[in-house]
């Protein structure tokens, strides 16, 4: 596969960095900020990012397990986030080759429907389980997650952009 013009070659992602970033995103979701419907799901953003950039390392199983952990912590319907994350990662892996050809803002526009679908799944499952409709504020969460895509992309790709061996005479 040829790279788009001007895109630098990246170093391989470290598995420790991948799983560390997923754990940090899970910890951000576990912060006791209360239940606000517009709060972005940091774990969903990082899971989609790594399933697009490293689909062989982060897959459906990782999303399902992280979703179960989030369900247990939030005392929500067991499997609600697990199903949403599994569907989210499935569709992210389906489009991972195509989405890398877009610029980062274009990628944010491409993943916005994925985030909206994941939130729709959790809302439908919550309603089936007897919960209440969260209100119009829930529409802000996918927009905030798509707005988080550029800084998350820059932050998570930063370790891969460094030179493998820093050298003053190295041309690349």
| Whether the Cβ atoms of residue 44 and residue 26 lie closer than 8 Å to each other | no
Average pLDDT over residues 38-55: 92
Q: Break the chain into its structural domains and give their ranges.
A: 15-160
Give me the pLDDT at residue 156, please.
Answer: 92
34: left (phi over 0), alpha (psi -120 to 50) or beta: left
Average pLDDT over residues 106-119: 94
156-165 pLDDT, tens digit each: 988 877 665 6
pLDDT at residue 15 greater than cutoff 60? yes
Please list, in sequence order, all residues whose beta carbon lies within 8 angstroms of the beta carbon of residue 120, skipping any fewer than 6 positions away.
none
Residue in the structure block whose two tokens are 């892996």: 93
pLDDT at residue 62 greater than cutoff 70? yes
21-32 pLDDT, tens digit each: 999 999 998 888
Output the average pLDDT for the chain.
Answer: 87
Position with higher pLDDT, 8 vs 86: 86
pLDDT at residue 48 greater than cutoff 70? yes
Rounded alpha-carbon distances, angstroms, from residue 133 to 16, 45, 124, 136 = 39, 23, 9, 9
pLDDT at residue 172 greater than cutoff 70? no
d(CA 85, CA 27) in angstroms, rounded, equals: 16
pTM: 0.85
d(CA 5, CA 39) in angstroms, rounded, equals: 36
Please list, in sequence order, all residues whose beta carbon lies within 8 angstroms of the beta carbon of residue 139, skipping any fewer than 6 positions away.
none
Give me the pLDDT at residue 129, please.
Answer: 87
Angle at 115 between CA 111 and CA 120, to 5 degrees: 145
d(CA 41, CA 110) in angstroms, rounded, equals: 17
Handedness of CA 146, 73, 70, 14 (dihedral sign): positive
d(CA 57, CA 137) in angstroms, rounded, equals: 34
Average pLDDT over residues 31-39: 78
């Amino acid at each position: 596969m040829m790279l788009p013009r001007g895109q630098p070659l990246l170093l391989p992602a470290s598995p420790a960095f991948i799983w560390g970033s997923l754990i940090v995103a899970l910890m951000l979701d576990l912060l006791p900020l209360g239940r606000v419907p517009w709060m972005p799901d940091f774990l969903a953003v990082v899971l989609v990012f790594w399933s697009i950039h490293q689909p062989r390392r982060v897959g459906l199983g990782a999303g399902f397990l992280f979703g179960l952990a989030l369900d247990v912590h939030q005392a929500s319907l067991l499997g609600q986030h697990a199903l949403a994350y599994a569907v989210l990662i499935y569709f992210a892996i389906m489009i991972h080759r195509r989405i890398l050809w877009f610029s980062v803002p274009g990628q944010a526009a491409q993943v916005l429907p994925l985030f909206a679908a994941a939130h729709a799944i959790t809302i439908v499952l919550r309603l089936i389980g007897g919960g209440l409709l969260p209100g119009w504020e829930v529409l802000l969460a996918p927009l905030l997650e798509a707005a988080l895509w550029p800084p998350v992309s820059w932050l998570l790709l930063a370790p891969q952009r460094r030179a493998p061996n820093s050298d003053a005479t190295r041309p690349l």
